[in-house]
């Protein structure tokens, strides 16, 4: 079992380069099969979720060529199989984007019900509602979503809740429907905008992405393109909170500061100095940090994917902080692990009350999901002792070279898999 072992107590100092946005890349890679021409996509992160999706795309007949670690060419002209196997879908939730892509292009798709991190209920009812509104027959058979239509026709779609996945999935299907589709109460996240921009670069006609209403005039075919994925705002925010928790001074490079406004606002509230540049943000943490209150909300609110990272930081802030999780009900599972490191936290329903402590103590903890795992690594970096984080497979799903990037700004940590390696690291840092 792969683990991270961390010797804390060292402020993180330096520069770290942020990779492409995982959540944008996954949807864009799925959308790339909607043309018979070759598509080149760069700035994709080399993480497990991306690699699994590329395997799934290959599995249905598309040609996938990895030009290099962060660049891929995809040609979907050879797709003859519209059935995405369970082995792929159970590993990553974003494989469901192949539903919208296949339905839009071929008017048929069969995709197993999605898996992914266990952070709470994430129903796909809004996806199915949107597909049905466009004229598709949609059934769930033997654990699969089966969607087909003779033709898709533009319609008015109103989402009952704001949902990123359904916004992107239905947008892809509507891209090749006849007529005009109007989608209301849509998600406004940066990766929704990025997917719309990518589709437009292939000849789609999508307007309004990033607002409450998206209008799509369907086209009959899409063409090849070259496209670069936006930077990952969640990876950037993770390193920004790592700087705050360790009393560090870190500059994150290759970011879009506009996408980080909610994160920057909270860092400023707790007492960090934040300096913005054209494509970089510097976070300096000096002295005692103070408490604040956080509620996760759809973009442009504070992102649920940053909640564990700020939770760890608030546990080291003076005073009483509260976190209200309004997106996923299981997002607090990391707090039990954090309590083992000395945090003082009480959870009631979807709210957590955090009394700040002076420091954490090293412990052996387990990553319950992707973002929680990264947050527990931040906690380990903020201790004076040694922390072992188990189940880092979750972290590897969404962060590329996570330990290497942290070592580049002063972290003492390594990826290990045996007791002998743990002992060797402990001797080296003691």
- Residue 130: CA atoms inside 13 Å, Cβ hemisphere, count? 34
DSSP state of 273: E
Closest-CA residue to 97 (of 188, 199, 212, 178): 199
Q: In what side-by-side order are the strands of the sheet with 364-366?
A: 364-366, 386-390, 3-7, 412-416
Placement of tokens 């939770």 in the chain: 311
For residue 13, the SS3 value is strand
- CA quadruple 44, 199, 176, 40: dihedral sign: negative
3-class DSSP state for residue 71? Answer: strand
Query: What's the DSSP call for residue 32?
Result: G
The whole-angstrom separation of Cα 357 and Cα 347 is: 17
Annotated active-site residue 117? The verdict is yes
* Catalytic one of 117, 272, 317, 377: 117
Quick one: residue 202, left, alpha or beta (phi over 0 = left, psi -120 to 50 = alpha)? alpha
Q: How many residues are given for the chain?
A: 430
CA gap 402, 381 in Å, rounded: 13
Q: What is the DSSP letter of 169?
A: H
Q: Number of C-alpha atoms within 13 angstroms, CB side, residue 129?
A: 16
Structure tokens at 117: 């991190």
DSSP label at residue 229 = P
Long-range contacts of 365-368 (CB under 8 A, 24+ apart): 365/337, 365/338, 365/340, 365/341, 365/389, 365/390, 366/337, 366/390, 366/391, 367/334, 367/391, 367/392, 367/394, 367/395, 368/118, 368/333, 368/334, 368/337, 368/394
Quick check: helix, strand or coil at residue 291?
Answer: coil
| Contact between residue 57 and residue 30 where contact means Cβ atoms under 8 Å apart | yes
- Residues marked active site are found at 117
């Amino acid at each position: 079992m792969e683990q991270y072992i961390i010797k804390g107590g060292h402020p993180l100092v330096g520069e770290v380069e942020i990779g492409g946005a995982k959540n944008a890349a996954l949807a864009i890679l799925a959308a790339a099969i909607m043309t018979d021409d070759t598509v080149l996509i760069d700035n994709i992160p080399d993480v497990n979720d991306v690699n699994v999706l590329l395997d799934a795309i290959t599995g249905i007949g598309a040609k996938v060529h990895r030009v290099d670690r962060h660049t891929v060419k995809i040609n979907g002209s050879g797709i003859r199989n519209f059935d995405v196997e369970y082995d792929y879908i159970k590993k990553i939730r974003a494989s469901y984007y192949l539903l919208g892509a296949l339905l839009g292009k071929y008017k048929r798709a069969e995709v197993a019900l999605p898996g992914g991190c266990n952070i709470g209920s994430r129903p796909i009812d809004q996806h199915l509602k949107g597909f049905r509104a466009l004229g598709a027959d949609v059934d769930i058979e033997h654990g699969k979503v089966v969607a087909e239509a003779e033709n898709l026709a533009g319609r008015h779609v109103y989402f009952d809740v704001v949902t990123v996945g359904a916004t992107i999935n239905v947008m892809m299907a509507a891209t090749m429907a006849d007529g005009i589709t109007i989608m209301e109460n849509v998600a406004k996240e940066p990766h929704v905008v990025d997917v719309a921009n990518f589709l437009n670069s292939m000849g789609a006609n999508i307007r309004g992405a990033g607002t409450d209403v998206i209008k799509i005039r369907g086209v009959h075919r899409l063409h090849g393109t070259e496209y670069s994925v936006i930077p990952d705002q969640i990876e950037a925010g993770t390193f920004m909170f790592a700087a705050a928790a360790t009393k560090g001074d870190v500059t994150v490079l290759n970011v879009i500061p506009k996408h980080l406004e909610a994160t920057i606002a909270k860092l400023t509230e707790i007492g960090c100095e934040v300096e913005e540049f054209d494509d970089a943000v510097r976070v300096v943490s000096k002295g005692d940090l103070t408490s604040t209150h956080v509620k996760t909300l759809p973009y442009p609110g504070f992102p649920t994917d940053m909640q564990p990272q700020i939770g760890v930081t608030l546990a080291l802030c003076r005073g009483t902080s509260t976190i209200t999780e309004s997106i996923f009900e299981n997002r607090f599972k990391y707090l039990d692990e954090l309590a083992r490191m000395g945090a003082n936290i009480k959870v009631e329903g979807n709210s957590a009350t955090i009394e700040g402590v002076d420091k954490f103590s090293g412990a052996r903890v387990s990553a319950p999901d992707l973002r929680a795992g990264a947050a527990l690594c931040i906690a380990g970096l903020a201790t004076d002792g040694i922390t072992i984080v188990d189940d880092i497979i979750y972290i590897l799903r969404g962060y590329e070279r996570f330990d290497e990037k942290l070592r580049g700004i002063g972290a003492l940590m390594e990826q290990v898999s045996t007791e002998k390696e743990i002992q060797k690291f402990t001797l080296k840092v003691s």
